[in-house]
Chains A and B, each alone.
Chain A
């Protein structure tokens, strides 16, 4: 395996020694570019009390291109599809090499607190969200309870 860039080593160390509140990220033992991530649902959102698992992979040309991030836990959200893929500008066209793993994970946590049905990835969920927001929020709560709350 090619040597790990210094930046990735530094980022990993800091994620462990100085973690972001409500977010954990630990590298896999076999592949130091692959991270197991958990994000706590923001307290004032339908995802509150949920602990969502994600996977994060740093491609070879990181930080010239964005990390690849995907939800592993099922989630009812207009910008996250059923495969867990996330529609977020900073993961696509608005990526900048000055962003880091921690800033990206914070952006994802913020996206949970502010769903954006006008820029949907999961079309059916976005439709529900626009037609009856109260009901959609209720479904999101139920899914959180069912899939993301550890019993």
Chain B
């Protein structure tokens, strides 16, 4: 005679796992499975989303779930790889830093009529005058007599991941800092002058 379980192809017996004969009942299936996590991981990659941590976490969580469930060596290895990657990539990301899009947008533009005819962009090596729609920018490099100028479309992608001038390796973020420091200094000087003037006033009446 077939039971309800047989008819519906359900295995109702407690499942024994591992060698220590501990019995476990079926766990409720979690929503996050490895395949759905991988799919999520891949589609995220394609859309070029900047946030990486959640996908990595989702992936790691799915793996962790699997490793608890099945004690698979592959899964354990994958997990340790994810953790290793974290350790390796984080300091690297901090080291190689580009500039904000805002910084690129605010770069000083150079009109074509101020550029020598034979001048070319150091990155694409094309002459600026040959470009029908040139957008030329100047980097704020200090300690240079010649302007370091580039096509915006050439220097933009470079500055996104590097903050140095391709010609002199000057850190363009330093220029920003330098400018702000100079401004602060001037402000301080102005304030001091104000105070001195006040002192002078008092002396008059002293």
- Closest residue of A by beta carbon distance from B167: A98
Per a CB cutoff under 8 Å, which of A5, A10, A94, A98 touches B122? A98
Q: Which residues of B contact A98 (CB under 8 A)?
A: 122-123, 166-167
What are 27 A-B contacts defined by CB distance under 8 Å?
A: A5-B124, A6-B124, A6-B125, A6-B126, A7-B123, A7-B124, A7-B125, A7-B126, A10-B125, A11-B125, A63-B123, A64-B157, A64-B158, A64-B161, A96-B164, A96-B166, A96-B167, A96-B169, A97-B122, A97-B123, A97-B154, A97-B166, A98-B122, A98-B123, A98-B166, A98-B167, A99-B166
A-B pairs with lowest CB-CB distance, top 7: A98-B166, A98-B122, A96-B166, A97-B123, A97-B166, A7-B125, A98-B167
A-B contact count (CB 8 A): 29
Most B CB within 10 A of own CB, among A5, A10, A63, A94: A63
- Mask, A38-81, CB within 8 Å of B = 1, is 00000000000000000000000001100000000000000000
Q: Which residues of A contact B166 (CB under 8 A)?
A: 96-99
Question: DSSP majority for the B interface?
Answer: loop
Q: Which residues of A contact B126 (CB under 8 A)?
A: 6-7
Bound Cα distance A84, B158 (Å): 29
Interface residues on A, range: 10 to 19
Q: Report yes or no: B123 in contact with A94, Cβ–Cβ below 8 A.
A: no
Question: DSSP majority for the A interface?
Answer: loop
Bound Cα distance A106, B113 (Å): 35
Q: Which residues of A contact B125 (CB under 8 A)?
A: 6-7, 10-11
Q: Report yes or no: B124 in contact with A94, Cβ–Cβ below 8 A.
A: no
Q: Which residues of B contact A63 (CB under 8 A)?
A: 123
Interface residues on B, range: 10 to 19
- B:144-191 near A, CB below 8 Å: 154, 157-158, 161, 164, 166-167, 169
A96 nearest CB across to chain B (Å): 4
- Mask, A88-99, CB within 8 Å of B = 1, is 000000101111
Q: Which residues of B contact A64 (CB under 8 A)?
A: 157-158, 161
Bound Cα distance A6, B124 (Å): 8
Bound Cα distance A6, B125 (Å): 9
A15 nearest CB across to chain B (Å): 13
- A:1-50 near B, CB below 8 Å: 5-7, 10-11
- Closest residue of A by beta carbon distance from B161: A64
Most A CB within 10 A of own CB, among B123, B125, B158, B167: B125
- Mask, B97-132, CB within 8 Å of A = 1, is 000000000000000000000000011111000000
Bound Cα distance A64, B162 (Å): 10
A141 nearest CB across to chain B (Å): 36
Q: Which residues of A contact B122 (CB under 8 A)?
A: 97-98
Q: Report yes or no: A94 in contact with B158, Cβ–Cβ below 8 A.
A: no
Bound Cα distance A5, B164 (Å): 23
Bound Cα distance A15, B166 (Å): 22
